[in-house]
């Protein structure tokens, strides 16, 4: 028999940090309550502020509500939700995620069976009824996470994730110095790997992300998370590619993005009389960029041509943002001014 929780009790606690979550929290809790799972599951919602009428909204459901008083930190909210639960499995589900009926089972089984100490799920491909920006984010993440099935290093994810409770508490939980909801899960992943714990990617364990986004949110979110991901990686002995968003194809795409952006004016220059050979390298870079992002583009294509056209330019722009994140590490003092400006614009957990 493998080491782990194979002989332990099949009990689990789902912790849902809720900040400005009134529009999605009930659907989130109902999906969890209706899940098919061979375990005793309790649900804890942690009210982290700006949730008027939360008690009444959830009054007909079997759920415990805890309150932080408005911590401003998803890490602090999650730590509060895990208090006094030291045996079994802790599941973390974001308040704007609606899990599929078998998602909890898929995440719990590897830990109960002693095959993993932590499990990372995925977003669903189902984006019906969402805004363009929300569709883009969910489809992009679902594709990138689909690539990472199997054991992971130096990474964890709390939108749809699970961890052995004793392991979580032994490592001290989440680092509460992280503000908002950004980076604290990846940092825990670094500590999990350093402690020799096994993190398993189970991309078929999915949830539908119901958070409404604007294009500005995508840019701010990727800049902030990109910077923190680089900081987490610098603090570990791992590789940048350990991050699910920084695999070989992603790194190549970021490198090619700058040249690919120049392909459009280069092609226009050819039309207006510039030598064709001057734009040829840029067009080759664009072709290579499309090849590197072919799996993501294929996922976008299922939403139609107009969506795919817009999503391509958003993806290219966000790859340039990632490039800027890397460059900012080389010019840390100057970049801190921009980082503070971005932080000022963050008014909610993303």
- Segment 281-301, tens digit of pLDDT: 777 888 899 999 999 999 999
Query: Where are the chain's structural domains?
Result: 11-212, 248-345
Select from 3.40.605.10, 3.40.640.10, 3.10.290.10, 3.90.550.10 the CATH code of 11-212. Answer: 3.90.550.10
Q: Estimate to the nearest angstrom the gap between the alpha carbon of 75 and the chain centroid.
A: 14
Q: Are 192 and 161 in contact (CB under 8 A)?
A: no
Neighbours of 87 (CB within 10 A): 13
Q: What is the pTM of this model?
A: 0.86
Tokens of 26: 């009930």
Q: Are 123 and 299 in contact (CB under 8 A)?
A: no
Q: Are 292 and 259 in contact (CB under 8 A)?
A: no
Dmax over Cα atoms in the chain, in whole Å? 74
Q: Looking at residue 36, what is its pLDDT?
A: 93
Calculate the alpha carbon distances from 173 to 81, 87, 201 in Å: 11, 14, 20
Q: Are 296 and 140 in contact (CB under 8 A)?
A: yes
Tokens of 185: 């899960």
Tokens of 318: 């966000």
Neighbours of 124 (CB within 10 A): 19
C-alpha 215/C-alpha 220 separation (Å) is: 9
Count the alpha carbons within 13 Å of 266 in the hemisphere toward its beta carbon: 17
How deeply is 128 buried, as exposed, middle or buried, from its count of CB atoms within 10 A (0-12, 13-18, 19+)?
exposed
C-alpha 144/C-alpha 312 separation (Å) is: 15
Q: Looking at residue 8, what is its pLDDT?
A: 59
Question: Which regions in the chain score pLDDT beneath 50?
Answer: 1-4, 334-350
Residue by residue, what is the 3-state secondary structure of the chain? CCCCCCCCCCEEEEEEEECCCCCCHHHHHHHHHCCCCCCEEEEEEEECCCCCCHHHHCCCCCCEEEECCCCCEHHHHHHHHHCCCCCCEEEEECCCEEECCCHHHHHHHHHHCCCCCEEEEEECCCCCCCCHHHHHHHHHHHHHHHCCCEEECCCCCCCEEEEEHHHHHHCCCCCCCCCECCCHHHHHHHHHHHCCCCEEEEEEEEEEECCCCCHHHHHHHHHHHHHHHHHHHHCCCCCHHHCCCCCHHHHHHHHHHHHHHHHHHHHHHHHCCCCHHHHHHHHHHHHHHHHHCHHHHHHHHCCCHHHHHHHHHHHHHHHHHHHHHHHHHHCHHHHHHHHHHHHHHCCCCC
C-alpha 239/C-alpha 246 separation (Å) is: 9
Q: 7 φ, ψ to 5°?
A: -100, 0
C-alpha 22/C-alpha 57 separation (Å) is: 8
Q: 32 φ, ψ to 5°?
A: -65, -45
């Amino acid at each position: 028999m493998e080491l782990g929780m194979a002989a332990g009790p099949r009990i689990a606690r789902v912790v849902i940090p809720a900040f400005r979550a009134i529009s999605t929290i009930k659907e989130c809790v109902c999906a969890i309550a209706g899940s098919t799972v061979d375990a005793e599951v309790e649900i804890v919602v942690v009210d982290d502020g700006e949730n008027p009428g939360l008690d009444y909204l959830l009054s007909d459901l079997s759920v415990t509500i805890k309150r932080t008083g408005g911590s401003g930190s998803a890490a602090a909210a999650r730590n509060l939700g895990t208090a006094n639960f030291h045996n079994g499995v802790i599941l973390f589900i974001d308040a704007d995620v609606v899990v599929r009926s078998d998602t909890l089972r898929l995440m719990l089984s590897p830990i109960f069976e002693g095959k993993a100490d932590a499990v990372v799920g995925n977003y669903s491909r189902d984006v019906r009824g969402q805004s363009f920006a929300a569709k883009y984010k969910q489809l992009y993440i679902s594709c990138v996470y689909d690539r990472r099935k199997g054991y992971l290093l130096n990474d964890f994810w709390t939108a749809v994730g699970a961890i052995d409770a004793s392991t979580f508490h032994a490592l001290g939980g989440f680092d509460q110095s992280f503000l908002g909801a950004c980076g604290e899960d990846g940092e825990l992943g670094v500590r999990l790997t350093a402690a020799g714990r096994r993190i398993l990617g189970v991309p078929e364990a999915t949830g539908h992300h119901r958070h409404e986004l604007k294009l500005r949110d995508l840019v701010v979110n990727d800049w902030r998370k990109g910077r923190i991901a680089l900081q987490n990686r610098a603090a570990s002995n791992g590789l940048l590619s350990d991050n699910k968003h920084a695999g070989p194809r992603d790194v190549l795409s970021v490198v090619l993005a700058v040249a690919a952006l120049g392909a459009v004016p280069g092609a226009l220059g050819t039309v207006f009389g510039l030598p064709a050979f001057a734009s040829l390298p840029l067009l080759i870079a664009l072709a290579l960029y499309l090849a590197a992002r072919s799996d993501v583009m294929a996922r976008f294509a299922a939403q139609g041509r107009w969506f795919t056209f817009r999503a391509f330019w958003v993806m290219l722009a966000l790859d340039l943002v990632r490039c800027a994140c890397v460059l900012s590490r080389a010019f840390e003092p100057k970049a801190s001014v921009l980082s503070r400006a971005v932080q000022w614009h963050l008014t909610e957990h993303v």
